[in-house]
Amino acid sequence: MEEQFNNIGAHLLQYGLNILAAVVIFFVGRWIAKLISGLVESLIHKSKLDKTLATFVKDLVYFGVMVFVIIAAVNKLGVETTSLVAIIGAAGLAVGLALQGSLSNFAAGVVLIILKPFRVGDFVEVAGVMGTVDQVKIFNTFLQAPDNKAVIIPNSSITGANIVNFSSVDKRRVDMVFGISYDDDMKAAKNALQSVVGKHPKVLKDPAPTIAVSELGDSSVNLVCRPWCKPEDYWDVRFDVVEQGKLALEAAGITIPLPQRDVHLYQEK
C-alpha cells in the first residue's frame, strides 16, 4: 500500500512538473513570439521595404511562432505531437469551413500586400469609406477618417469593390461650379475667378486652371472653375477658392442668383 502511494505521489509530482514546464514554455514562448515579431516589424521600418508590410508580417510571424509554442507546450504534457498535428489539421479544416469569411479576408489581405493598391499614409476611398490608411492587418484594414474616426474594414470588402487612391498621383483637379445671373457680364465673372486661382499659392501653374461656361441652367449661367493642386493641398484650395471666388464675384458686381420659377395663375370664369 505504501509503495502504491509512493508511486501515485511520484506520478503526481511528475505531472505537476510537466504542467509547470508546459506553462513556462507557453509564456516564455509567447514572450519570444512577441520579441521576434517586434524585431521583424522594426527591421521592416528601418529597411527600404514598404511600410505596409510591417504590421501584416508582424502578425504572421507572431501566430506562426505561437503554433510551434503551443505544440511544444502540449507535447510536454505527454500528448503525441503527430496526433496533435492530425487533430489540429482536422480542427483547422472544420474551422476553415465555418470561418470562410475570415479566410477570404486573410486571402484579400495577402492580395493587398502583393498588389499594393495603396500604402500606409495614403488617402483612399475603399468600400465606400474615405480616410487615411493607418494599418493593413491580416483580416482588416484600419483607416483614419477625416473627422478622426477609426474605421475598420474587412479586407475582402476592399478587394471586392472599387479602390480610389488620392495619394498615388502627383496632382489633383479641384472641380467647382459658380452660378451667375443671365444679366451679368460673363467675361468679368471669368476674369474674377481667374484672378483668384492665379493668386492662390497652392494652385499649380501647370496644368493651367480651366474656367469656362459649363451649362445654361434654369436660373443661372454656370461657370466651372477647375484649378490643379497637390493631393495634400486639395481641401485648402477648395475651401479658399469657394470663399474667395464668391467675394471676387461680388466685388466685380456679379450676382449669384437663387433658383427662380415663374408661376402663372389662371382664374376660372
Provide CB contacts within 8 A for 218, sequence distance 6+: 259, 260, 261
pLDDT at residue 88 in the model? 59
* 228/170 Cα distance (integer angstroms): 10
pLDDT higher at 145 or 7:
145
Distances (CA, A) of 56 to 49, 93, 249: 13, 23, 52
pLDDT at residue 23 in the model? 78
What DSSP character marks residue 254? -
pLDDT at residue 115 in the model? 84
* 220/257 Cα distance (integer angstroms): 6
Are 162 and 133 contacting, i.e. CB atoms less than 8 angstroms apart? no
Phi, psi values for residue 37, rounded to 5°: -65, -35
Neighbours of 204 (CB within 10 A): 19
pLDDT higher at 122 or 49:
122
- Which among 209, 252, 251 has a CA at the least distance from the CA of 229? 209
Q: Tens of pLDDT along 109-161?
A: 888 888 888 888 899 999 889 999 988 888 889 999 988 999 999 998 998 88
Q: Residue 113, SS3?
A: helix
pLDDT at residue 60 in the model? 74
pLDDT at residue 89 in the model? 61
pTM equals 0.60
pLDDT at residue 262 in the model? 67
* 124/83 Cα distance (integer angstroms): 47
Binned at pLDDT 50, 70 and 90, residue 1 comes out as: low
* 130/18 Cα distance (integer angstroms): 53
pLDDT at residue 24 in the model? 79
Q: HSE (CB half, 13 Å, CA atoms) of 135?
A: 15
Residue 96 has pLDDT above 80, yes or no: no
pLDDT at residue 131 in the model? 92
CA angle 28, 32, 35 (to 5 degrees): 140
* 115/58 Cα distance (integer angstroms): 19
